Amino acid sequence: MFVDEPTLDLFLRGVLLTVLTLCWVVLLVRINGLRSFSKMTNFDFVMTIAVGSLLAGAAQSTSWGGYAQAVAAMAALFATQYSVARLRQRFDPFETLVQNTPVLLMRDGKIIDKALMETRVAKSDLIAKLREANVLDMSKVRAVVLETTGDISVLHGDELSESLLQGTRTVTRS
């Protein structure tokens, strides 16, 4: 692709294609905005993984055609993410279609076992997240939410504004 010496060609191709592709990704992020690699939705998370996979594929391309296909696919992913974000802002039914609903796993110091079972979150994982959030007293935990991205948010303290739980799904306690 670049030089006749196979080992040197592999090295040069890997370095050059990686640098070119990283510059391409930075350009796409600058065009698409700060949200490009956020983890605000499950769609954003999948986008991040897909771009990483395409970047690796582009860096390992053995032909310019394969490289062009990978960078074109990246541009298509960014364009799709932009379009989906705009549609989610404008149309609630579309938002419902593409977005999961956050689920309440714990409320007012009590674990909702049925929610853990439904979401396949182990109690030990929930307890680990409570420790990670520096919870010292379970009765001070106002809510624990499994977010749409798979992250777990722990809200603890003396009071909780109900607006913070807006849009969460509550599973009937068991």
Q: Domain with 134 in it: what CATH number?
A: 3.30.240.20
* Residues 29-75: tens digit of each pLDDT: 999 887 888 777 777 888 889 999 999 999 999 889 999 999 999 99
Q: In one letter, which amino acid is 153? A: S
Q: Of the candidates 77, 97, 117, which is a domain's last residue?
A: 97
What whole-number percentage of the chain has pLDDT above 70?
A: 98
User: Same structural domain for residues 25 and 73?
Assistant: yes
Which pLDDT band holds residue 1 (cuts at 50, 70, 90)? Answer: low
Residue with tokens 């391409």: 24
User: Does 22 fall in a domain?
Assistant: yes
How many structural domains are present in the chain? Answer: 2
Compute the Cα dihedral for 76, 78, 79, 81 and give only its sign. positive
The count of C-alpha atoms lying within 13 angstroms of the C-alpha of 41, restricted to the half-sphere facing its C-beta, is 18
Q: Do 59 and 91 belong to one domain?
A: yes
What pLDDT does 2 receive? Answer: 65
Q: CA 22, CA 73: separation in Å to the nearest integer? A: 14
pLDDT on residue 89: 87
- pTM metric for this prediction: 0.72
Mean pLDDT (the chain) is: 89
Name the domain boundary from 43, 67, 97. Answer: 97
26 is written with which tokens? 């930075």
Does residue 143 share a domain with residue 116? yes
- State whether 37 and 69 are in the same domain: yes
Say if residue 19 is in the same domain as residue 77.
Answer: yes
| Together in a domain, 78 and 111 | no
List b or e across 138-155, with b for residues whose CB sees 16 or more CB atoms inside 10 angstroms: eeebbbbbbbbbeebebb
| Whether residue 109 is found in the same domain as residue 139 | yes
Strand pairing category for 103-107 and 141-146: antiparallel
Share of the chain above pLDDT 90, in %: 56
In a domain, 1, yes or no: no
More confident call, 162 vs 172? 162
* Domain edge (last residue) among 36, 70, 97: 97
Can you give the pLDDT at residue 154? 96
- From CA 87, how far away is CA 89, in angstroms rounded? 5
Q: What DSSP string describes 72-125? A: HHHHHHHHHHHHHHHHHHH-HHHHHHH-PPPEEEEETTEE-HHHHHHHT--HHH
Q: Do 91 and 111 share a structural domain?
A: no
- The pLDDT score that the predictor gives to residue 129 is 96
End-to-end CA distance of the chain: give it in Å, rounded. Answer: 63
Please give the residue range of the domain that contains residue 62: 6-97
